[in-house]
């Protein structure tokens, strides 16, 4: 499974970056930055940004106003190492598949993690920001060492494994047609793997991407899941039934089946987002709309730095690649003390309404 995941995320990364370069051929090429982790592993960070006017590189690049994207990144990482008992104990609180592991008894355990993570911040305020992430995590038994031909590290029998991920949309200005297209595309991919997949993941997404201190969602949702393995999952159990069938029976359960679902969802990213970006990036906009976009990006920053588990985990991990972790942040953001934008009856208020009261955009 390790090699299959590594091969898939590498292929998906190249497809996504190539699609954005094709969409805006006159823009600067994406920077492809390969890196290695001293503690074990490697990655490839693909990042888009227009050089700042004060940078010497700006003379060879188009002006900011000429690009579809303002800042974007598509990263993959394939890392392995040793997980100390304290880290395993902390992770048990969030991962049911680790409940059977006794960190005091087992001691440090080998781990493997591979994933793709992307955030796209368009320049036009009418084009939404999008985020997607798909990952695989495995903890192995050090007593059962086999040779992993893919990476030459010792690969023990998995003691626990899971998949996680999702995809969500964050608009500054609400277009119902965009929201419906985005959700319908994800739903159609998800329902091929069980009737419960979309409804559970959609609800989970609304719950996860929420800013309690603001009382609003980060965006208009999508899909989110974590800790998905062959074990019973409390999110599915708590959801109840879908079509008269317990939700936990209406989803993939084997490692191969879950991985196939992850691939189908990952392959849905481009058709779910590119048509929206193509249309909205051509919409004329005003300085006031740009100001609102920057205010909404401020909320994006707040969520990522305060609540996002992946960001927090990365910042606390020794030897973490900080530039790649903070790739998700927008190039510019804004905060105003009691802003006068968003008053009732305005276009800005339309998006605030659905952020405070999430809407079900498509039927299950």
Lowest mean pLDDT among 40-49, 136-145, 259-268, 340-349: 136-145
Phi-psi region of 166 (alpha: psi -120 to 50; beta: other; left: phi over 0): left
217 DSSP β-pair partners: 210
Instruction: Look at residue 176 and tell me whether its pLDDT is greater than 60.
Output: yes
Q: Give the percent of the chain with pLDDT over 90.
A: 73
Question: Which residue is associated with the tokens 């990476």?
Answer: 151
Report residue 150's pLDDT band, with 50, 70 and 90 as the boundaries: very low
Q: Residue 11's pLDDT is what?
A: 98
Q: Residue 253's pLDDT is what?
A: 92
Residues 99-132 have pLDDT tens digits of: 666 656 666 788 899 999 999 999 999 999 999 9
- Rounded to whole angstroms, the Cα distance separating 317 from 279 reads 40
Rg of the chain over Cα atoms, rounded to whole angstroms, equals 21
Q: Residue 354's pLDDT is what?
A: 98
Report residue 144's pLDDT band, with 50, 70 and 90 as the boundaries: low
The mean predicted confidence, pLDDT, of the chain is: 90
Report residue 154's pLDDT band, with 50, 70 and 90 as the boundaries: low
Q: Residue 337's pLDDT is what?
A: 98
- Rounded to whole angstroms, the Cα distance separating 237 from 224 reads 16
Report residue 149's pLDDT band, with 50, 70 and 90 as the boundaries: very low
Report residue 148's pLDDT band, with 50, 70 and 90 as the boundaries: very low
- Rounded to whole angstroms, the Cα distance separating 208 from 17 reads 27
Q: Residue 159's pLDDT is what?
A: 78
Instruction: Look at residue 319 and tell me whether its pLDDT is greater than 70.
Output: yes
Residues 188-236 have pLDDT tens digits of: 999 999 999 999 999 999 999 999 999 999 999 999 999 999 989 999 9
- Rounded to whole angstroms, the Cα distance separating 25 from 28 reads 8
Cβ-contact 325, 309 below 8 angstroms: no
Residues 271-280 have pLDDT tens digits of: 999 999 999 9
Q: Residue 151's pLDDT is what?
A: 45
Select, from the ranges 53-67, 89-103, 153-167, 198-212, the one with the highest average predicted confidence (pLDDT): 198-212
- Rounded to whole angstroms, the Cα distance separating 159 from 338 reads 51
Give the mean model confidence (pLDDT) for residues 283-306.
98
Q: Residue 53's pLDDT is what?
A: 82
Question: Residues 6 or more apart from 332 whose CB is under 8 A from it?
Answer: 70, 294, 297
Question: Which residue is associated with the tokens 């939700």?
Answer: 247
Q: Residue 38's pLDDT is what?
A: 85
- Rounded to whole angstroms, the Cα distance separating 334 from 291 reads 8
Q: Residue 105's pLDDT is what?
A: 63
Name the burial class of residue 67, with classes exposed (0-12), middle (13-18) and buried (19+) by CB atoms within 10 angstroms of its CB: buried
Instruction: Look at residue 62 and tell me whether its pLDDT is greater than 90.
Output: no
Give the mean model confidence (pLDDT) for residues 148-166.
69
Beta-strand pair 210-211/154-170: unpaired
CA angle 265, 91, 168 (to 5 degrees): 30
Six-digit token pair at 233? 């999952």
According to CATH, what is the number of the domain 1-356? Answer: 3.40.1500.10
Active site (catalytic) residues: 131
């Amino acid at each position: 499974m390790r090699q299959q995941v590594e091969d898939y995320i590498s292929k998906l990364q190249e497809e996504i970056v190539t699609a954005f370069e094709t969409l805006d051929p006159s823009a600067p090429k994406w920077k492809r930055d390969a890196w290695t982790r001293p503690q074990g592993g490697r990655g490839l960070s693909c990042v888009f940004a227009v050089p700042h006017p004060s940078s010497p590189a700006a003379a060879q690049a188009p002006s900011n106003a000429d690009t579809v994207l303002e800042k974007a990144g598509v990263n993959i990482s394939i890392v392995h190492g040793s997980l100390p008992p304290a880290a395993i104990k902390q992770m048990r609180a969030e991962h049911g598949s680790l409940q059977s592991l006794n960190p005091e008894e087992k001691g440090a355990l080998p781990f493997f993690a591979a994933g793709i993570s992307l955030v796209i911040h368009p320049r036009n305020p009418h084009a939404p920001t999008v985020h997607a992430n798909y990952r695989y995590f495995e903890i192995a038994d050090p007593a059962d060492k086999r040779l992993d031909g893919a990476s030459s590290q010792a690969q023990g029998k998995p003691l626990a494994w899971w998949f996680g991920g999702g995809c969500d949309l964050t608009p500054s200005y609400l277009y119902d047609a965009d929201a419906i297209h985005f959700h319908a595309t994800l739903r159609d991919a998800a329902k091929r793997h069980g009737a419960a997949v979309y409804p559970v993941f959609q609800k989970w997404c609304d719950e996860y991407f929420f800013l309690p201190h603001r009382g609003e969602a980060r965006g208009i949702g999508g899909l989110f899941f974590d800790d998905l393995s062959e074990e019973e999952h409390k999110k599915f159990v708590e959801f109840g039934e879908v079509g008269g069938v317990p939700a936990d029976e209406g989803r993939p359960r084997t490692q191969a089946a879950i991985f196939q679902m992850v691939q189908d969802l990952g392959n849905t990213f481009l058709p779910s987002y590119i048509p929206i970006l193509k249309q909205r990036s051509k919409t004329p906009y005003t300085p006031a709309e740009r100001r609102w976009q920057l205010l909404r990006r401020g909320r994006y920053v707040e969520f990522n730095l305060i609540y996002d588990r992946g960001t927090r985990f990365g910042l606390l991990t020794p030897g973490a690649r900080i530039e790649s972790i903070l790739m998700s942040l927008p190039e510019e953001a804004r905060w105003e003390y009691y802003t006068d934008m968003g008053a009732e009856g305005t276009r800005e208020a339309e998006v605030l309404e659905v952020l405070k009261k999430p809407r079900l955009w498509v039927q299950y």
